[in-house]
Amino acid sequence: MLSAVLLSLCFSPAILAASGSRAERKDVYNRLGNLSPYHKAPAVPGIESALPNDCTVEQVMLMQRHGSRWPLASELVYIQNLSYKLGNASDAVQKADLPQSLQFLKAGYTTQLGHDNLTAPGRKQLFDHGVDFLLDYPHLHTDTIVAGGQDRVIESAEWFAKGYFGRYYPNSPPVNFTTVPEDSKTVSWITPMDTCSEWDYDYGGNATIEWGTVYLPPITKRLSGYLPGVNITDDDTHGALYACAYDLAAYGVSPWCNFFTHDEIYNFEYELDLLMDGAFGYGLPGQMGPILGTLYVNKLIERFSNKTGDAEELYLEFGHDTTIDQALTALGLAKDTPPLSAKGPVNPNREWRTSEQVPFAAKMIWEKFTCSKSLNGTSQIRLLLNGETFPLTMCSNTAEDRRFGTCAFEEFVRANAFSTNTSYGDAAWNATCGPATVPVQA
């Protein structure tokens, strides 16, 4: 765990002066890709965030990412190896002429980060989201929670439920808590890639390896210059970047973030964008990205059209950043032309930006609503992503649609014919993912 001395160094006036204002540091913390602490997305210019007064939200479908977590085991090893290396070279560290941003190393940097599970800030994020959701939609009710079957997702759903239902959850009111297995035997709109035998996480990892050969060496050279005799490698630099993100996720502060320049943090953000786009988005081969996301889009359309005759007014569901990314891909949203390049950002204003789309505790909220006069008085649909309207550009056909980022539900369905014409185990799925491994119900 970070020592008291280390914590006092994290936000000392000297370090803040050297690193920029508090506002600038907060901006850096919000630019850590899908490892960013939860923050509200920036408003889209020209889009009105509030619906007209004559509109009533009738159905809501929430997909909530789990809160801040410990690093994945594959990421933790970079942080641990850096920590061990610094500890084994403590004499060299003590003799080094360190800048203010690295003075914390004199007190020793050790890590006791765990892996995979929810952290204390992650629990708070979800509890707060539960309270906020109840205040935002007090007229809608449900007695059901659905969570992907992974520990951090299940715990996130439980903390949300405590904020939403109150101290007597789950007994008053009685709540039906359901988990959806995350495995190759369950067709799930939460983790659709698990039943796609051709899907491979390395699609994203290979792109980031190429990018790492460009942006890591200059940082390594700079860090090594301050730490002669420590033998800092590119892997150690990666460990310091991960430490920046995951100390924040676990403790709310990290001294490592102060060492990196804004451009270096933004480059790390781009690496994480590449990874998520390459493994769960448009960077997947062929139509795999959109195909995977069709499971979620079809679930949304099925419920909002009451196709099965038992639609509910409110759905509270919990999954991953990947769930949201795959849904956006099937919808054709946040798509970059030309696509993201492993050699570096072609467009600094890229559409695919995981810091804004899927920070920890990201919330994707779909609203179906009707207005008595506005928006032609027809059933409409709107996407709120992390507290701001995410325009449905694929079906916004009128001036009012473009003003509010919405579209008529019928137009939304029509615009998503790719999804409605695709289902698990059909010809399109099998051509992309290989033969269906789960029996398909007639």
User: Which residues have a catalytic role annotated?
Assistant: 66, 321
Q: How is residue 290 written in tokens?
A: 């959109």
The token duo for 361 is 């505790």
Nearest residue to 365 (alpha-carbon basis) of 379, 383, 381, 389: 383
CA 166 → CA 31, 118, 409, 431, distances in Å? Answer: 33, 21, 34, 47
342-348: long-range pairs with CB below 8 Å, 24+: 342/206, 342/207, 342/208, 342/210, 342/211, 342/274, 343/210, 343/211, 343/214, 344/211, 344/214, 344/215, 344/270, 345/270
Crossing angle between the packed helical segments 288-304 and 321-331, to the nearest 10 degrees: 90
- Bridge partners (DSSP) of residue 61 are 315, 366
Is 41 in a helix, a strand, or coil? coil
Give the pairing of strands 176-180 and 314-319.
unpaired
Q: Which residue has the tokens 């810091």?
A: 355
Query: CA-to-CA distance for 192 and 422, rounded, in angstroms?
Result: 13
Is it true that the peptide bond before 173 is cis, omega within 30 degrees of 0?
yes
